[in-house]
């Protein structure tokens, strides 16, 4: 028997700059971290819909203790929030027969739900996975994974889709860099023998070198552009091929999917860091830059024509604003559209949304930024929320939380979030704001501009 009245340990992780943690900036936590939390309306009930939250955090950080599923339980949902290994623990690749352990942790959690959720009143045949950022990217990958087939009936991907993976050769090179930093052979046994503290320190050193010297020849272009050394790997077995290719070929066709983004997702990082004011036209059209100052070429766009197109779409925007729009498109918006396109012909339902409510903080410079929608989805509007709570302002609109939360509950219950399905002729998109409405094909020019660009 275990005491299940308090949160379990978090996965070992390097805390981001400025985050709460130890004096070294490292959150050294328990290795017995594969645990989860369950909220249920009634453990004596039967056949209740189940929602499983897969948290984000750049594939580097995360804790189930940051999320409160009580409002889903209030509304008839059994809500589960899971931990999974992040950073090198979850994604180091050494070509030794083990890959994507963080994703396999998510699969193990879903298998636990299938086998045990009835004891909490849930229906194991009516499971919805939902997640944000790296959690949503994980869900896009799970849709394509043979070992995850049949473990969930529905999926909601918030600001992440089915594109964030790296080739095995790139991942193998990063695994060897990590071993070099640790001063051990590039084997799983040798790395596992190192203390957690030393492993986290080496991860931090490796990430710092990537940001300071982003040479594609050393790191691979995918890692340089994303600045994510730890992410899902196309290993040929757990992830057989790029997820979007598998989905386009029919993987996940039996799963109902909601996918969407926030209007200004990637402004968060440029505004909060202050980098947005240092961007110039010369940086945008120049060679590949450094983190926070990427040129348009870093995202695969023809710089001059792309700058002209974004400038026409945002005529009063400064260069930093244009870079934020490009980053939002590269990271989440275009992948979301491509996931919806790839899944649109499946017999199951496909739905698209955009979260457009702008944060009032920082003199309104943020817009509808990354992760801002989470509090509305969970119906937990509070400035006390970890990390992003202060961005909600003094009086966030409860009516928007009511609308979004109800849509997520409805989708998990019966597969219908309350707006028309997405198809390739109309591309209906629910735009959530204080007044929410369906708009058709709202991102047509961006979709055309990015055609053929990875």
Residues 6 or more apart whose CB falls under 8 angstroms from that of 192 comprise: none
Residue 76, pLDDT score? 98
The stretch 132-156 carries a mean pLDDT of 98
Going by pLDDT thresholds of 50, 70 and 90, the confidence category of residue 27 is very low
- Tens digit of each residue's pLDDT (9 = 90 or more) over 40-99: 999 999 999 999 999 999 999 888 888 999 999 999 999 999 999 999 999 999 989 999
Q: What pLDDT digit, counting tens, does each position of 379-396 carry?
A: 999 766 666 788 999 999
Q: How far apart are alpha carbons 279 and 291 in whole angstroms? A: 12
**Structure token pair of residue 437:** 């409405």
CATH architecture, range 13-449: 3-Layer(aba) Sandwich (3.40)
Whole-angstrom CA distances from 193 to 33, 201, 233 are 18, 15, 23
**pLDDT tens-digit readout, 326-380:** 999 999 999 999 999 999 999 999 999 999 999 999 999 999 999 999 999 999 9
Query: 3-class SS at 35?
Result: coil
Place of tokens 């704001």: 433
pLDDT digits (tens, 9 = 90+) for 174-189: 999 999 999 999 999 9
CA distance 90 to 214: 23
Instruction: Annotate 76-111 with b (16+ C-beta within 10 A) or e (fewer).
Output: bbbbbbbbbbbbbbbbbbbeeeebbbbbbbbbebbe
Q: Which of 329, 389, 387 is nearest to 359 (CA)?
A: 389
pLDDT tops 70 at residue 14: yes
Residue 454's pLDDT band (boundaries 50, 70, 90)? Answer: confident
Q: Which of 121-130, 219-228, 352-361, 415-424 has the lowest mean pLDDT?
A: 219-228
User: Quick one: the chain helix, strand, coil %, rounded to 5?
Assistant: 40, 15, 45
pLDDT digits (tens, 9 = 90+) for 325-336: 999 999 999 999
Q: Average pLDDT of 272-298? A: 78
* Residue pair 162/334 in contact by the 8 Å Cβ criterion: no
Question: 166-167 and 233-234 as β-strands: parallel, antiparallel, unpaired?
Answer: parallel
């Amino acid at each position: 028997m275990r005491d299940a009245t308090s949160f379990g340990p978090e996965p070992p992780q390097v805390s981001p700059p400025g985050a709460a943690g130890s004096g070294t900036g490292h959150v050294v936590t328990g290795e017995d971290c594969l645990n989860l939390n369950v909220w249920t309306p009634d453990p004596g009930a039967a056949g209740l819909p189940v929602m499983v939250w897969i948290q984000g955090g750049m594939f580097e950080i995360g804790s189930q203790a940051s999320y409160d599923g009580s409002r889903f339980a209030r509304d008839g949902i059994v809500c589960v929030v899971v931990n999974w290994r992040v950073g090198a623990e979850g994604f180091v690749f050494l070509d030794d027969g083990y890959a994507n352990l963080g994703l396999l942790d998510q699969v193990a959690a879903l298998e636990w739900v299938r086998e045990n959720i009835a004891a909490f009143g849930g229906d194991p045949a009516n499971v919805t996975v939902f997640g944000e950022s790296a959690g949503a990217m994980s869900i896009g990958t799970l849709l394509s994974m043979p070992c995850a087939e049949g473990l969930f009936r529905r999926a909601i991907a918030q600001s992440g889709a089915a594109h964030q993976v790296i080739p095995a050769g790139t991942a193998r090179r990063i695994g060897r860099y990590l071993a070099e930093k640790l001063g051990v052979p590039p084997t799983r046994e040798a790395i596992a023998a190192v203390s957690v503290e030393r492993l986290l320190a080496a991860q931090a050193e490796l990430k710092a070198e990537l940001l300071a010297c982003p040479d594609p020849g050393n790191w691979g272009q995918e890692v340089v552009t994303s600045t994510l050394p730890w992410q899902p790997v196309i290993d040929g077995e757990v992830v057989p091929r790029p997820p979007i290719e598998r989905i386009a070929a029919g993987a996940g066709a039996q799963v109902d999917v909601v996918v969407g983004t926030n209007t200004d997702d990637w402004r968060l990082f440029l505004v909060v860091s202050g980098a947005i004011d240092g961007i110039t036209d010369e940086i945008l059209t120049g060679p590949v830059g450094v983190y926070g100052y990427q040129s348009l070429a870093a995202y695969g766009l023809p710089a001059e024509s792309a700058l002209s197109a974004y400038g026409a779409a945002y005529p009063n925007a400064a260069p930093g604003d244009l870079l934020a729009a490009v980053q939002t498109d590269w990271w989440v918006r275009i992948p979301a559209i491509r996931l919806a396109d790839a899944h649109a012909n499946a017999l199951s339902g496909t739905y698209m949304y955009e979260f457009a409510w702008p944060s009032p903080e920082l003199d309104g410079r943020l817009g509808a930024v990354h992760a801002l929608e989470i509090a509305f989805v969970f119906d937990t509007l509070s400035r006390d929320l970890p990390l992003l709570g202060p961005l909600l302002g003094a009086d966030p609109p409860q009516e928007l939380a009511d609308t979004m939360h109800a849509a997520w509950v409805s989708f998990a219950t019966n597969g219908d979030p309350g707006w028309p399905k997405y198809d390739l002729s109309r591309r209906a998109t629910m735009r959530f704001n204080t007044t929410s409405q369906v708009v058709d094909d709202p991102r047509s020019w961006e979709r055309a501009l990015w055609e053929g660009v990875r």
